[in-house]
Amino acid sequence: MKIVAVVGAKNTGKTTLVTRIIRELVKRGFTVGTVKHSHHSFDMSDRDTGKHKKAGAEIVAGTGEETFFTIKGDMKLDNVLGMMNFIKNLDFIILEGFKSSKYAKISTSDFKDDFTIANMNVFEMDDSSLKTLVDLLDERSYGMIKYLNCKKCGFDSCDDFVDGKIKGNTNATLCKSESDEVLLKIDNQMIPLNPFVRNFVKEIIQGMVKSLKTDEFGVNDFEKIELLIRDDHDRH
């Protein structure tokens, strides 16, 4: 999974650029998710789900032709990204906003930081420029960095790997410690696992599950195993 943030001043075409990038990535056969940063509520207060939230519901979900969740309060970006990719294995996630994030950024204004790979004038960008931009973000973007400094990528630290990706100084596709095969979250905080621990946990859980008679419940293949352990000793 690679992550790219589209940032910039108001009314500079961020949403327009995000939608154009999505279409180009999908045309190339990639699966794409998006995250929008907003200072406002995403739910319409006059609808049923808005009334549920106003009544005090912490989580509101809706199912039908689409499925959605709204959760009361702000969540850390990396938690949202981890949940998204666990639900649906994605090739790219495009962020709209999130200037302070440490992911590859495309700016639609004069904003520039150490993670900015391009500044674009969206209103003057033709199809050829778009394709060149998507080539660039495919080359220089990366996923969630665990900051384990394992050196398996050939760099001395994760920061050096990120800097190399942003500047185009490495052919490494993703961080060697980055994996969505096993995700650990404790009290809503994503916990990074080094490759040894990740593989150990995966093999132990898979072995336990394979010993169960899952076929009696119509489960024969194990594409994804989810295990939730809740400590309820303080609940009343």
- Please report whether residue 158 resides in a domain: no
* Enclosing domain of residue 72: 2-144
State how many domains the chain has.
1
For the chain, percent of residues with pLDDT exceeding 70:
92
Would residue 207 count as lying in a domain? no
Q: Can you give the pLDDT at residue 10?
A: 92
Query: CA dihedral in degrees (204, 207, 212, 217; nearest 10)?
Result: 90
In-domain check, residue 228: no
Q: Over range 48-64, report the average pLDDT.
A: 81
Alpha helix positions (H), 88-226 = 127-140, 158-167, 195-210
Mean pLDDT in the chain?
A: 85
Given a cut of 80, whether residue 215 has pLDDT beyond it is: yes
Pairing of strands 92-96, 2-7: parallel
Q: What is the pLDDT of residues 122-168, one digit of tens each?
A: 999 999 999 999 999 999 999 888 777 877 778 888 899 999 999 99
* Residue 31 predicted with pLDDT over 90: yes
Give the CATH number for residue 113: 3.40.50.300
Please work out, in degrees rounded to the nearest 5, the angle formed at the alpha carbon of residue 144 by the alpha carbons of 142 and 93: 65
pLDDT of residue 22: 96
pLDDT in tens, 81-120: 877 877 777 899 999 999 999 999 999 999 999 999 999 9
